Amino acid sequence: MGHVVVLGVFVADTAYRSDRMPHIGETVLGNSFALGPGGKGSNQAVAAGKMGVQVSMISRLGNDDFAKMALEIWKKSGVSPHVKQSSDDYTGAAFIFIEESTGDNAIIISPGAAAKISPSDLISKTELINSADVFVTQLEQPMDAAFKGLQIAKLGGVTTVLNPAPAAELPNGMLDLCDYITPNEIETEALTGISIKTMEDAKQAAEALKKMGVSTPIITLGEKGAYLYGHGLVPAFNVGSVVETTGAGDAFNGGFSAALSDGMTPLAAVQMGCATAGISVTRAGTAPSMPDRIEVDKLLKR
């Protein structure tokens, strides 16, 4: 069994569905509301856990009902928590607007306790990180903590995956620590300055990321699939009608990282990531939309 260690944030998702986003100063009626577990790191850990691999989650939580939600979803998904909890801080929360007609989303995140994740938290988890096959992080927690986690993993010979979301300027040397990077089109443009409209653009952007220090860039392209450096486009899986795209990127990263930890080739791992994402968008929610390994394997065999 592979072992994935995830550094990231848990937030309670408050999801509002409406025909459109209100303008400033305007109120519109919503069509529905849902409360559920989210946060990029947590979602990716849940997605990986449902693939049947060992998953450990490094984060911080408050001591409140949202923290109970985090611990419950991790337990159900086979994710082992390695977290600090504090009564002085609240557990993170997110506002998610979902446009009813398209399933597209806009998100505001308040990370709460997870905003205090520090390099010392990662140093204290060095043994755990070094025991992993794959280390995954994103950019919702402080940048210096992500940097330190990647440093520790790289020095320990652990495969490193950076999902550079939300888009942000990266410190010098960070990309050199990444075996894989998984930006979407917006994040790719922020990193490279290349706007992706064609596969040739994706190829050029991947080559640019390679020159910037990443061993194997992967650019996620939504309904098209993902561009894998050295291979080309790995097509998406058309499973059914799109209900919500909010957790698609997290589903991809969780499935991809689990596959890598299981010893799969990069191409097979990207295919698993695409299959995981393809199923997730047919369901509402983020963590609750993540499929299990049986569903993903069945899709891959089609």
pLDDT, one tens digit for every residue, the chain (302 residues) = 899 999 999 999 898 999 999 999 999 999 999 898 989 999 999 999 999 999 999 999 999 999 999 999 999 999 999 999 999 999 999 898 989 988 888 888 898 999 999 999 999 999 999 999 999 999 999 999 999 999 999 999 999 999 999 999 999 999 999 999 999 999 999 999 999 999 999 999 999 999 999 999 999 999 999 999 999 999 999 888 888 887 899 999 999 999 999 999 999 999 999 999 999 998 877 788 899 999 999 999 98
pLDDT for the residue numbered 139: 96
What is the SS3 assignment for 216?
A: strand
Structure tokens at 195: 């706007």
CA distance 5 to 130: 9
The dihedrals phi and psi of 128, each to the nearest 5 degrees, come to -60, -50
What does the alpha-carbon distance between residue 4 and residue 195 come to, in Å, rounded to a whole number?
32
pTM of the model: 0.91
All domains of the chain in start order, with CATH: 3-7+40-64+74-88+115-301 (3.40.1190.20)
Read off φ and ψ for residue 23, nearest 5 degrees: -80, 165
Do residues 165 and 183 make contact, with C-beta atoms less than 8 angstroms apart? yes
Confirm if 54 and 5 have CB atoms less than 8 A apart: no
Name the residue among 81, 76, 8 with its Cα closest to residue 42: 8
Q: Which residues are part of the catalytic machinery? A: 250
* Per-residue model confidence (pLDDT) at position 243: 85
Rg of the chain, C-alpha, whole Å: 18
Strands 225-228 and 232-235: antiparallel
Quote the tokens at residue 250: 């997290």
Rounded Cα distance, 218 and 170, in Å: 17
Cα separation, 102 vs 298, whole angstroms: 27
- Written as six digits, the tokens of 175 are 């990309």
Query: How many whole angstroms separate alpha carbon 186 and alpha carbon 206?
Result: 13
Q: Provide the pLDDT for residue 244.
A: 80
